[in-house]
A and B are shown apart, each in its own frame.
Chain A
Amino acid sequence: MSVLAPSDHDEIQAAVAGALADGIPTEVRGHATRRGWGRPVQAEQELDLSRISGIHLYEPKELVLSAAAGTPIREINEALAAENQHLAFEPPDWAPLYGGAAGEGTFGGVIACNLAGPRRIQAGAARDHLLGFTAVSGRGETFKSGGRVVKNVTGFDLSKLIAGSFGTLAVMSDITVKVLPAPEKVRTVLVFGLSSEDARKAMSAALNSPSDVGGAAHLPAGAAARSAVDYVNGAGTAATALRVEGPEPSVAARTEALKRLLGEYGGIEELHTSRSRTLWAEVRDVHPLLPQGENLIWRVSVPPAGGYAPPPDAEYYTDWGGGLIWISVPASDDGAPPPPRVDGGHATLMRAPASVRGVVAVFEELPAGVAALSARIKESFDPERVLNPGRMYPGI
Chain B
Amino acid sequence: MKMPAPDQATLARRQEIVAKLREIVPPGPLGDGVIDDANTLSAYECDGLSAYRQLPMVVVLPETVRQVSDILKYCHETGTKVVARGSGTSLSGGALPLADAVMLGLGKFNRILDIDYANRCVVTQPGVTNLAISDAVAADGFYYAPDPSSQIVCSIGGNVAENSGGVHCLKYGLTTNNVMGVEMVTMDGEIMRLGGKHLDSGGYDILGLINGSEGLLGVITEVTVRILRKPETARAALIGFDSAAAAGDCVGAVIGAGIIPGGMEMMDRPAIAATEEFVHAGYPLDVEALLIVELDGPAAEVDYLIGRVREIAEGLGAGYFRISENDEERENFWAGRKAAFPAVGRITPDYYCMDGTIPRARLPEVLTRISELSEKHGLGVANVFHAGDGNLHPLIMYDANEPGELAAAEEFGAEILRLCVEVGGVLTGEHGVGVEKRDLMGAMFTEEDLKQQQRVKCAFDPDSLLNPGKVFPTLHRCAELGRVHVHRGETRFPDIPRF
Contacts and interface: CB of A to CB of B under 8 A. Distances in A.
A249 B255 contact: no
B209 A157 contact: yes
Given A148-B359, A154-B427, A253 B390 contact: no
B196 interface: yes
A127 B361 CA distance: 25
A379 B255 CA distance: 42
Among A51, A120, A150, A163, max chain B CB count under 10 A is at A150
A41 interface: no
Contacts of B260: 180-181
B359 A369 contact: no
A370 B205 CA distance: 11
B205 A61 contact: no
Contacts of B426: 147, 149, 151-152, 154
A207 B194 CA distance: 24
A170 to B, nearest CB: 8
Contacts of A144: 445-446, 449
Interface stretch (A15-23, A67-75, A268-276, A281-289): A15-23
B285 interface: no
A356 B120 CA distance: 36
B357 A149 contact: yes
Given A140-B487, A149-B429, A253-B298, A210 B453 contact: no
B203 A380 contact: no
Contact of A373 (B301, B391, B460): B460
B430 interface: yes
Interface in B346-362: 357-361
Contacts of A158: 209, 452-453, 456
B203 A143 contact: no
Contacts of A154: 426-428, 433, 437, 441, 444-445
B203 to A, nearest CB: 5
A277 interface: no
Interface residues of A, number: 111
A379 B459 contact: yes
Contacts of A370: 192-194, 203, 206
A11 interface: yes
A353 B144 CA distance: 43
A353 B337 CA distance: 59
A14 B491 contact: yes
A346 B176 contact: no
Contacts of A346: 198, 200-202
A373 B204 CA distance: 10
A157 B186 CA distance: 18
A211 to B, nearest CB: 7
Interface string A338-365: 0000001110100000000000000110
B212 A157 contact: yes
B245 to A, nearest CB: 14
B375 to A, nearest CB: 27
Given A17-B491, A160-B208, A346-B201, A212 B431 contact: no
Given A143-B449, A165-B204, A380 B430 contact: no
A247 interface: yes
A210 B424 contact: no
A266 interface: no
B496 A11 contact: yes
Contact of B492 (A14, A63, A141, A323): A14
Contacts of A246: 297, 301
Interface string A151-169: 1111111111101110001
B232 interface: yes
A155 B471 contact: yes
Given A208-B120, A369-B190, A155 B453 contact: yes
A19 to B, nearest CB: 11
Nearest to B201: A346
Given A11-B493, A61-B253, A153-B428, A369 B300 contact: no
A125 to B, nearest CB: 8
B253 to A, nearest CB: 7
Interface in A112-152: 114, 116, 120-121, 124-125, 127-128, 137, 139-145, 147-152
A393 interface: yes
Given A3-B498, A149-B425, A157-B176, A366 B202 contact: yes
Contacts of B252: 61-62
Interface string A200-211: 000010011111
A285 B197 CA distance: 24
B376 interface: no
Taking each of B297, B300, B357, B441, which has the highest tally of chain A beta carbons within 10 Å of its own beta carbon?
B300
A332 B478 CA distance: 48
Interface string B295-317: 00111110111000000000000
A142 B456 CA distance: 15
Among A157, A207, A211: residue with most chain B CB under 10 A = A157
A367 interface: yes
Contact of B496 (A6, A20, A59, A150): A6
A380 B498 contact: no
Contact of A64 (B359, B386, B456, B489): B359
A151 B256 contact: no
A182 interface: yes
B256 A17 contact: no
A198 interface: no
A181 B198 contact: no
B456 A148 contact: no
Contacts of B386: 151
A124 B430 CA distance: 20
B485 interface: yes
The 9 A-B pairs of least Cβ separation, nearest first, read A160-B208, A250-B301, A305-B118, A181-B258, A151-B429, A303-B197, A301-B200, A253-B300, A376-B459
18 contacts: A15-B496, A17-B486, A18-B491, A124-B173, A137-B452, A145-B453, A149-B390, A154-B426, A154-B428, A155-B471, A156-B213, A158-B456, A163-B208, A210-B141, A247-B304, A303-B198, A369-B186, A369-B192
Interface of A: 2-7, 10-11, 13-15, 17-18, 20-21, 48, 51, 59-64, 84-85, 114, 116, 120-121, 124-125, 127-128, 137, 139-145, 147-161, 163-165, 169, 180-182, 184, 204, 207-212, 246-247, 249-250, 252-254, 257, 301-306, 320, 323-324, 344-346, 348, 363-364, 366-367, 369-371, 373-374, 376-381, 383-384, 392-393
Interface of B: 116-120, 141, 162-163, 165, 169-170, 173-174, 176-177, 186, 190-194, 196-209, 211-213, 229-232, 252-253, 255-260, 297-301, 303-305, 357-361, 386, 389-391, 424-433, 437, 441, 444-446, 448-453, 455-460, 471, 482, 484-489, 491-493, 496-499
Given A141-B485, A161-B456, 5 more contacts: A20-B486, A21-B488, A181-B260, A253-B301, A344-B197
